[in-house]
Chains A and B, each alone.
Chain A
């Protein structure tokens, strides 16, 4: 009884969550077990067909595409983000705030607009091609658009701030006296980094990786704009099926599987951070 009283303030939030997340989610799950007629109307009859259809190699290929996009995005943002986070954490307070401001600034502009920005940069008539042509480094414009790499670049660009901030938080919390202890015991800068800093910032890396991996799995407008539909990803597929394809049950089934994938990633994240006992380190 007391417990209920203590948690009373949480009930409105629970209500919201139930209304705005729980019920729609339940509808999606129900929808994924239904089918449709040729006009796209839902037929209310239970069938696991949608899930069976997903085993089609064409669809498996889409899963693979999305998975590798998310994985590569994670790796690239990690490689780019770690040094930035590391050096930011080492700056004095004033410069540090400035750098963090600069990292966060792109969020003030619509991500759709920023994705268009990449077309201006990478397009056939784009900035990079123009400059290279002007200096006669190339004589034919490079074809940089509508490739897997283009989508990867755009996705990594969009998500790298999450990685930087996560790692920054970990590096910032790192007890500097541990680094001094390592120097004192005979470790150079690199050895200290690999033996002390890196292992102790794994929680930040795991957090960043999760924050990047999950959206990268589902973002569809970046691959729409920069990929031109040449490579199909989960997000595009669901979007296409639900709208133009008029197959909401199949789209729902894909969505459910994607949610399961995300839960799996979160589970792994939980295991990684639990085994490294972040709270005790930092």
Chain B
């Protein structure tokens, strides 16, 4: 299960003058569901295409089971792709689409193919659709067929390029769960590309966050969500308040920072190297998940005093904007006491001691905060 399967070593890729992948290094273990996550244009699809062999790499190496595959043609690599638009062959029916791989490689006889196609259709729960043409299928069905067509070849790795992008919200959510189960059932390593953090957090064993051709952070969903390593990841994953603060004092696990005119104490995660880069009396960035903050009318210790400027009601959660000395903070509460706050109320905003990140101020590349 945890055997080293694929190693991407220092690969670089240029399209003309633009540097698409910058020294990307990744290790992928056998049986993993790994997601490449990042905004569009960050190079995640290019990595996938390099692994598939549909793009060449300009430097570095890609090892599968310890052997270089970088010079192998795509048809010689034992990896298969589920394309963004599924790329089902329109002149072939479902059966012939799925049978395409084994037939063209002559890896199975027709009898064996028949059995395998049936197995695949069962795996993706599409029995009885053999004779359908692909244009008679819905988006979700096409996607299942695309997966079946790839998995019948028993690839070492299945590469999925934003396969849920074209589906509507409800189906997308359903397919997320389906895919995660399917991956465990098929016992195949999945490398999944998406720009949707929810998808990534939902399905993956590990997530690789990318921006502008550079790997920003690799970790489990929990790691990525709670312990974002840098400002980009902090801004890209989850909904956070990201504010510039002045570090006043660092004492043991605690740290006092000044936001506007107020001072609060936080307990940033010491395991993060970057925390140590923030020195006293310098400007740093405080990043707090919106749902790890609380609002109250009564004064609570270690809180910020401000005025509510807006209340958004969004179903299970309530989003409240609070103006603290000119800095706008957003607080998300999953609450039943909707209506207890209204615009203009003076309130105290506190944050969970451990929920905050203190990151060094840096030039942020990418679109972090808007996402």
Contact = CB atoms under 8 A, between A and B. Distances in A.
B153 A281 contact: no
5 contacts: A175-B85, A183-B53, A185-B149, A200-B91, A281-B90
B135 A182 contact: no
Given A186-B75, A280-B135, A181 B104 contact: no
A276 interface: yes
B54 A180 contact: yes
Given A187-B75, A200-B91, A182 B104 contact: yes
The residue among B52, B83, B87, B105 with the most chain A CB atoms within 10 A of its own CB is B87
Interface in A178-196: 178, 180-188, 191, 195-196
B31 interface: no
Interface residues of A, number: 21
Nearest to A199: B91
Given A184-B81, A185-B75, 6 more contacts: A178-B89, A183-B53, A184-B150, A185-B104, A187-B104, A280-B135
Contacts of A195: 100, 104
B89 A183 contact: no
B166 to A, nearest CB: 13
B91 A183 contact: no
B87 A183 contact: no
Interface residues of B, number: 25
A219 B116 CA distance: 56
A191 B87 CA distance: 17
Contact of A181 (B73, B83, B107): B83
A186 B91 contact: no
B101 interface: yes
Contacts of A196: 89
B366 interface: no
Contact of B90 (A180, A183, A185, A280): A280
Nearest to B152: A185
Contacts of B80: 184-185
The residue among A182, A184, A191 with the most chain B CB atoms within 10 A of its own CB is A184
Given A185-B101, A187-B75, A195-B104, A180 B87 contact: yes
Interface string B53-66: 11000000000000
A177 interface: yes
B91 A276 contact: yes
A188 to B, nearest CB: 6
B355 interface: no
B368 interface: no
B271 to A, nearest CB: 40
Interface in B300-327: none
B139 interface: no
A22 B149 CA distance: 54
B74 interface: yes
A200 B87 CA distance: 13
Interface in A155-180: 175, 177-178, 180
Nearest to A191: B104
A118 B81 CA distance: 52
B100 A183 contact: no
Contacts of B74: 180, 183-184
A62 B316 CA distance: 84
A181 B75 CA distance: 10
A186 B54 contact: no
Contacts of B105: 185-186
Contacts of A182: 89, 100, 104
A178 B73 contact: no
Contact of B52 (A178, A184, A187, A191): A184
A46 B153 CA distance: 72
A181 B135 contact: no
A7 B73 CA distance: 56
A242 B215 CA distance: 80
A184 B54 contact: yes
Nearest to B85: A177
Contacts of A186: 75, 101, 104-105, 107, 153
Query: Across chains A and B, which 10 residue pairs bring their CB atoms closest together, nearest first?
Result: A181-B87, A186-B105, A185-B101, A177-B87, A183-B74, A187-B104, A281-B90, A186-B75, A184-B81, A199-B91
A236 to B, nearest CB: 42
Contact of A185 (B54, B85, B100): B100
Contacts of B150: 184-185
A186 B80 CA distance: 9
B69 to A, nearest CB: 13
A183 B83 contact: no
A200 B84 CA distance: 20
B89 A181 contact: yes
A55 B149 CA distance: 57
